[in-house]
Chains A and B, each alone.
Chain A
Amino acid sequence: MSLEALLTILGMAAVTFAIRAGGLLLADRLPTTGFIALWLRNIPGAVLASLIAPELIKGGPAAWIAGGAATLAYLIGRNVFATIVVGVLAIFLARRFLGL
C-alpha cells in the first residue's frame, strides 16, 4: 500500500470521526431550526443527485432505461440491494439485446 493511499484513508477516517464526535459535543449549539439546519439536512440529497445526473446524461439511452428500471425497482421493493441488481441487469440487457 502506498503512503498516499494510507494518508487518504486516515484523512477520511479522521474527518468522519470528527463529524460523528462533533455532533455529540456540539449537541446544544447545533441549530435544529433555521437556515443552517435546513442547509445541513439538504446536503446529502444534493450530493447524491450530483453524482447521478451527469452519469445518466453521459450513459445515453441504455443508462436512461436502467435508471428508470432501478427507480421502479426501488418504488416497489424499497430495498437498496434489489435496486442495484435491477439497475445492473437492465443496463446489461439493454446493451446486449437493444444494442444501446
Chain B
Amino acid sequence: MTPPPSSARSQFFLGARSFIPIAISIASYGVVWGVLAGQAGLTPLEVALMSGLVYAGSSQFVALTLWSPGALPIGAIVFAVAIVNLRMMLMSATLRPLMQDLPRWQALPAMFLVSDEVWAITIAENAKGRGSVGFFLGAGTLAWCAWLGSTLGGRLLGAVISDPRTYGLDFAFTATFLALLFGMWKGKSDLVPWLAGALIAILVAQLLPGTWYIIAGGIGGSLIGALVEDWRLRHVA
C-alpha cells in the first residue's frame, strides 16, 4: 500500500519519534566528543562547523586524534576521514529504492543525513514495509540536531576541565572505538580483519612516526580480511 502524499509530514514525525532513544545515545557520546575536541584545541566555532557540515561521529573521533593546531596535517585528516566513512557509500546505495520517488536534485542532498544509526533504523522500518523518505528525513534531522547540540555542549562544558588525564578522560577515545568496533560484529569472519589491522597498527606505530599506523592497519587489515574471506568462499563451500 502506498501512503497518500499528505502523510509525508506524519512520516517525518514518526521517523523523528522512533529515533528518540538512539538520539539520546548519540547525544551522550557527542558530549564526550565535544570535551575531547576542546582538549585537542578546537574552538566552539570549529566544533559547530565540523559537526554541522561533516556530521559523522567515528570519523570525527579519528580526526581529533590527528588534530594539531598550528600544523594541521590536512591531507592525512581528509584521507583518514574518507577511509572511515567509505562504508556509507554502501548504505546510500541500499537506500536507492526508497529515494526513487524523489527527483535527483532532492535525493542527493538528502543523502547528507545518512549515518550508521539513521540508515539502520530506516532499513529496519523498510523491512517491515513501512520505510519512507519522510521517515528517513525525520530520523536524520533529529540525529543531526542531537549531534550538533551535544558536541557543542560538550565543547563548552569541557572548557572547565584542565587536565583530562586526571579524570581518565584520555581513555574515552579507546573506549569509544571499542564500543563502535563491537557494534560492528557480524560473525567470526570479522576476527581476521580486526586482528590483522591491530597487529599491523602495533607494528607500524613502532616503525613510523605520526599516525600512519591508522591508515596502514585499516587498509592492510581490511585487505587481508577480504582475501581470507574470498578464499574461503571459493574453496570451502
Contact = CB atoms under 8 A, between A and B. Distances in A.
Interface in A44-81: 44-59, 63, 66-67, 70-71, 74-75, 78-81
Contact of A52 (B85, B107, B178, B196): B178
23 contacts: A2-B72, A4-B72, A8-B63, A8-B77, A10-B53, A12-B78, A13-B53, A17-B112, A23-B93, A24-B95, A30-B93, A38-B229, A41-B90, A43-B222, A46-B217, A46-B220, A47-B62, A48-B180, A50-B197, A67-B178, A81-B25, A83-B179, A84-B28
Choose among A55, A78, A84, A91 the residue with the greatest number of B CB atoms under 10 Å from its CB: A84
B129 interface: no
A47 B217 contact: yes
Interface string B191-213: 00111111111100100000001
The DSSP consensus for interface residues of chain A is helix
B159 interface: no
Given A47-B222, A83-B179, 14 more contacts: A19-B88, A21-B108, A40-B90, A45-B197, A46-B193, A46-B225, A47-B83, A48-B58, A49-B217, A51-B177, A80-B28, A80-B29, A87-B174, A87-B175
B201 A9 contact: no
Contact of B96 (A12, A24, A38): A24
Nearest to B71: A4
Contacts of B95: 23-24
Contacts of A25: 108
A7 interface: yes
A98 interface: no
Interface residues of A, number: 71
Contacts of A37: 90
Interface residues of B, number: 92
B129 to A, nearest CB: 21
Interface of B: 25, 28-29, 32, 42-43, 45-46, 49-50, 53-56, 58-60, 62-63, 65, 69, 72, 74, 77-78, 81-96, 99, 107-108, 111-112, 114, 167-184, 190, 193-202, 205, 213-214, 216-223, 225-227, 229-230
A4 B25 contact: no
B32 A49 contact: no
B178 A87 contact: yes
Given A21-B111, A51-B62, A81-B28, A27 B72 contact: no
B181 to A, nearest CB: 4
A19 B85 contact: yes
